[in-house]
Structure 1
């Protein structure tokens, strides 16, 4: 029985030492995993920065929303449509090269700004067309009057009597009636 008691005490000591070692190791691990104050401050700072950016974007969206302000969306879209219809159909018609400088100047007044001038420079010298068949203008969902999506499709008849379809997607500012940016879109034929 004495030996049995000694074994128990020995086992108890081993268990106690093992448990103590495990607790110490877990405690050290837990202490290492506690974030330091400078890390917490850095995370808080990042959260504040992101929240400020969110607030600024929300304020910008509210400020530029056509629905928040008394902005004549229909009138602005009609004005934009009229501007595009004064330029694009004229680009794709029969023209004389000698009139090109005057046409460019007139078109730059209709589509003012750097992006408008760039559009006219890239596409204004399109020669070799007999007539413009049709020009369609589509406005995207309006969420911001300073960045409205406008899609323009044009069908023209070339000198060899083939229909040529051209398309562009514009980022358009309805408030200032200027093109922010544009890109040509690919049109697949039949």
Structure 2
């Protein structure tokens, strides 16, 4: 899909420059799958633990997925959207009049969710259970309402947004739960 996926580091680019690439723990894995509603399923961003350190490749993949999730509309300006996404991942607020606000916001959610998922995978021995929580939203999707509050094993951790989500913007999140917390019923 992108040129730099097929070119290894250190090779010359078509214009003669040396491509130093960007170091990644592991490359992002793009899914072409769609859920039962025809929406794109969020890609995996293996190795990403801190969304603020996402590579340009990972951010472009998140924007590409978010465009497909929102119905394949074109970005106002991809370079500007990439810069705004990078700023948002570092903690800056997204302006209310920002073109493509929904696409950028869902790309931020995808990268943050991937970071949470990858960090949770590291500590799954201490926190083997997960609990889906509804974020602040007026009308969460039916799938999220049915799963809200349920404690599931780490191996069944869902991608956020949930496959089958019908909300225009998913705000669900997942919380880690210990075995003793699950046994007490506090989860």
Normalised by the length of structure 2, the TM-score is 0.29
Higher-helix-fraction structure: 1
Higher-strand-fraction structure: 1
**Larger CA Rg, structure 1 vs 2:** 1
Normalised by the length of structure 1, the TM-score is 0.28
